[in-house]
Amino acid sequence: MFDWIDFEKHEGTWKEKDVKVLALSTCAFCSKAFEFLNSHDVEYKYVYIDTLPKKDRRRVSDEFKETFKERGLYPSVVVDNKDYQLGFIEKAWAKALGLE
């Protein structure tokens, strides 16, 4: 999923799952999501959707909707290409990642 995106990588010692974050560069909730992941030393890949060309933003939206049957929100976390969480709710992200 999203194999065509040039994600940035954040190194971490917790590497139990493939974690991808779709975020906006100016989003306060996105910043809180990154703080949460960093506080648990999670390794993850991320992309700021608002910095992508318009056609790529549309492609991300279409791929997300096709895969999960929902429209994406930001931030979103995709775990192992099969589970996801829309928006940042700490308990939900912790559960999806198996950190609780």
Q: Which residues of the chain fall short of a pLDDT of 70?
A: none
pLDDT of residue 72: 86
- Sequence-distant (≥ 6) Cβ neighbours of residue 26 within 8 angstroms: 50
What is the tens place of the pLDDT at every residue in 70-90? 998 999 999 999 999 999 999
Q: Where are the domains of the chain?
A: 17-97
pLDDT of residue 48: 98
Q: In this structure, what are the phi and psi dihedrals at residue 89, rounded to the nearest 5 degrees?
A: -125, 110
Question: CATH classification of 17-97, choosing from 3.40.50.300, 3.40.30.10, 3.30.70.890, 3.90.550.10?
Answer: 3.40.30.10
| CA–CA gap between residue 100 and residue 80 (Å, rounded) | 17
36 secondary structure, DSSP code: H
